[in-house]
Homo-oligomer: A and B are copies of this chain.
Amino acid sequence: MAIITVVGAGVMGTALTFPATDNGQTVRLVGTHLDRHIIESIRADGTHPKLERQIPDTVTAYFHDEVGKAIAGADVILIGVNSQGVGWVTEAIAPHLEPGQIIHMVTKGLESLDGESISILPDVLRANLPEHVRDRVHYSAIGGPSIAGELAARRPTSVVFVSREEEIVERLREMFLTDYYTIFTSTDMIGVELCVALKNPYAFAVGLAQGVLEAAEAHQPDEAGAGMYNYAAAIFAQGLAETAYLVGMMGGGMETVFSLPGAGDLYVTTQGGRNSRFGRLIGMGLSYSDAVEEMPGETVEGVDAIIAIGPAINTMIEQGKIDANALPLLRRLYTLLTKHEEVGFDFDRFFSQLPFNPPLYKQSE
């Protein structure tokens, strides 16, 4: 039996306590300073207010200032905060880390540490740990389509565990595997982490396309009641193709793009995720602030990721490291979000404005 400490009591971190406890592990759940009401609720009657259900009764809940106690002796520290909490969590766990512990990240995001390259979150976290600690722990992460509420409902969910160390993901797989939680493994850390982070901006874009067309339809309905999926599907494909370009450029594998971490996670996020819902609101014509108000208490990580890596992408294009025509959608989203442009007709004609045949990544290149 292993000890798994989940740091971050949001929906995703908490949902992972279900397969872990069902598999027989000892699970500790630590709230951040923003999760106090969640930990209080769990201590009171076992209910997670946002998941709207009882969490497994063997889970022990900790407040953020008890993080040291919660980490002591743990085999795995599962990082379940959102991308904005990575700085906090790094500082919070650093003094308490023990040699051999596995830092297993479900947090999704990208950053640029130097303004001219893109870093995946496990590498960002590692870089921010004190030197005497960072090489004494292991790093791993989770990718693939996994809406938290469905996992907590024990609905069939398939994911990929990834680490540069194969034996680490094998150990983790044994700890979390259940009949409803299928775990494949990978050592393509770059590929998986790029895919899971990029699905947020691209799902936002798919929602945007859907919203733009819904607004047009509301204005002038089609005589034959035609739907509006072709455009959203083309944006979906462009998003996956741009993901493949970045994955290939950074040394990841195409097989990560066309399987669970890439295609699967992008798909699920367009179906039920907050990034595509937020995109849809913006596409329908809501201002950024009105759209934020429509989704109280929800973090739209896709927006953060675009803003975090946009300048580095531009620098890499100037330096000739990225083909200027390879990422038109990501760059369009960056302009849209930072210049607060209206979407409307312009985005509607996204593809017809592209240079003919935007380059696709080919492994032979």
Residue positions of A touching B, CB distance < 8 A: 51-53, 144-147, 149-153, 155-158, 179-180, 182, 184-185, 213, 222-234, 236-238, 240-241, 243-244, 253-255, 257-260, 262-265, 267-268, 270-272, 348-352, 354, 356-358, 360-364
Contact = CB atoms under 8 A, between A and B. Distances in A.
Given A228-B155, A229-B271, A240 B254 contact: no
A78 to B, nearest CB: 18
Top 9 closest pairs, chain A to chain B, by CB = A237-B264, A145-B233, A233-B268, A153-B226, A158-B234, A255-B360, A363-B363, A52-B224, A182-B351
A226 to B, nearest CB: 4
Contact of A146 (B230, B232, B259, B364): B230
Contacts of A228: 150, 155
Contacts of A358: 184
A81 to B, nearest CB: 21
A144 B237 CA distance: 9
Given A182-B352, A258-B258, A260-B237, A268 B224 contact: no
A327 B279 CA distance: 35
A275 to B, nearest CB: 14
Contacts of A213: 155-156
Given A153-B222, A156-B230, A241-B259, 20 more contacts: A52-B224, A144-B234, A145-B229, A145-B234, A145-B236, A150-B228, A155-B228, A156-B352, A158-B351, A179-B352, A185-B357, A232-B267, A232-B271, A233-B264, A233-B271, A236-B264, A237-B263, A237-B264, A255-B361, A363-B364
- Which of A182, A233, A358 lies at the interface centre, i.e. has the most chain B CB atoms within 10 A of its CB? A233
Given A52-B224, A149-B227, A229-B272, A258 B240 contact: yes
B233 A258 contact: no
A258 B254 contact: yes
A155 B230 contact: yes
Contacts of A270: 267
Given A226-B155, A253-B362, A234 B260 contact: yes
Contacts of A236: 145, 263-264, 267
A240 B224 contact: no
Contacts of A157: 230-231, 234
Contacts of A258: 237, 240-241, 243-244, 254, 257-258, 262-263, 360
Nearest to A206: B267
A46 to B, nearest CB: 13
Given A233-B271, A234-B145, A357-B185, A226 B262 contact: no
A326 to B, nearest CB: 12
Contact of A224 (B53, B260, B264, B356): B53
Contacts of A241: 255, 258-259, 263
Contacts of A146: 230
Contacts of A184: 356-358
A248 B155 CA distance: 32
Contact of A145 (B155, B237, B257): B237
A353 to B, nearest CB: 9
Contact of A237 (B179, B223, B267, B354): B267
Contacts of A234: 144-145, 156-158, 182, 260, 264
